[in-house]
Structure 1
């Protein structure tokens, strides 16, 4: 049986792609603020992560992008208008922590060494750098109007 893949349960999935094994890669979209895990062979739901951000109504928490750690142990989820990035244990589906970043993080990218995560924050016009070893947002850098995606190169 194939390993489960994290897939957002909502209908609109602009980031859906098929990997080289034919399994679904992580996909995310604006919506209910949940991420659902499916077994890619049976297509059966095996778990769900529901995000809660203190002080923000449920409809304000939107799972819009997922970035998986290379080892598959951790998923990072951009929570859109909640202005947070969630760190999720991919095995237990527990939310380990929430990082407060700029306004409306859309997309995420991990550094090659997996020690930093970068979020593109569309409404605040910046990108935020998260130090994953020290579990903190270390800096937000203005980049101009409406950054939507982010890629980290060598």
Structure 2
């Protein structure tokens, strides 16, 4: 009897020891990074490290949403929708350095570094605005359909794309004259647009798909339709798109489906669906491209996914309704 109890206790100690090792190891050993997350409802920016720790919470403005890297590495530019302005935030000093106002219903942002131009979608005004980032001066206003959201400019600054949710269009503007060159018809509610090499990827929130267009001809090249087993089409509401050229993969946040999809960029095949939090929304990629950070808008948290194993390994609290993320070395 005593020997039996000894063996039981010894086995329990081994199990406890192994569990502690697993806990201490946690997820993959990520390269150090800092991620900034805008939280729409709590009105702040959080600074998160590679271990998922929130090191700083900084009140910033009312309804911070779209965010891009600034002209220098320590800066991000943030759209403050309810304050009708755009701010430049210094992540090193955790202070606001400047602002451009008024910018009615500032939603999403694109920047062209070479010309120091800032482009903003004005959600409630059915237009996009172009600013000189150095002076804050308004350069042009570009009419769009209702509810403009995603915005992107080519590296050479010659072509600007603006998605209009309500109209089901992507407007194409000349990057110098700001004249409209044409429109691209999309499926229902185009949300985010992302440029990758010579392709324009557009997420169709109510169309359960991502559509892929040629940047120069605007012709449709392909589409990826999301239909995992057990889900209705209306639950597939793709929003953000991120590319990992090292792995030849695209990652798409599927919104209300509470998953992200992994797509082979070349074949357009969906290779995996990964369960995350409620309403997967924004996406960020670590500098070594081994970790995907997913913002879950309705569960107010973010999930870290190991891209080697294709498994989530950590979910931590964010602010209220996390919206956008940028990751820095």
- What TM-score do you get using the length of structure 1 for normalisation? 0.85
Normalized per residue, which structure has more strand?
Answer: 2
Q: CA RMSD in A?
A: 1.9
Match of 1:93 among 268, 287, 298: 268
Q: How many residues align?
A: 144
Paired residue secondary structure (1:145):
coil
**Which residue number in structure 1 is paired with residue 296 of structure 2?**
121
Larger mean CA deviation between 76-85 and 20-29 belongs to 20-29
Q: Please report how far the alpha carbon of residue 28 of structure 1 lies from its aligned counterpart in structure 2 after TM superposition.
A: 3.2
Q: Distance in 1 between matches of 2:147 and 2:272?
A: 26
Q: 2:150 — aligned with what?
A: 15
SS of aligned partner of 2:322: coil
Q: 1:12 to 1:44 in 2, by over 3 A?
A: farther
Name stretches of at least 5 consecutive residues in structure 1 with no aligned partner: 1-10
Q: Say which of 270, 275, 281 aligns to 1:106.
A: 281
Which has the higher Rg, Structure 1 or Structure 2?
2
- Of residues 139-148 and 100-109 in structure 1, the stretch that sits farther from structure 2 once superposed is 139-148
Q: Measure the CA separation in 2 of the matches of 1:34 and 1:117.
A: 20
Do the aligned residues in 1 keep the contact of 2:204 with 2:210 (CA within 8 Å)?
no
Structure with bigger RCO (C-alpha 8 Å, 6+ apart) = 1
Counting helix residues as a fraction of each chain, which structure ranks higher?
2
> Following superposition, which runs of at least 4 residues in structure 1 exceed 6 angstroms of deviation?
none
* TM-score (norm. length: structure 2): 0.41
Asked if structure 1 preserves the Cα contact closer than 8 Å seen for 2:203 and 2:211, the reply is no
Q: Which of 110, 125, 131 in structure 1 is aligned with 2:306? A: 131
- Alpha-carbon contact 1:83-1:104 (below 8 Å) kept: yes
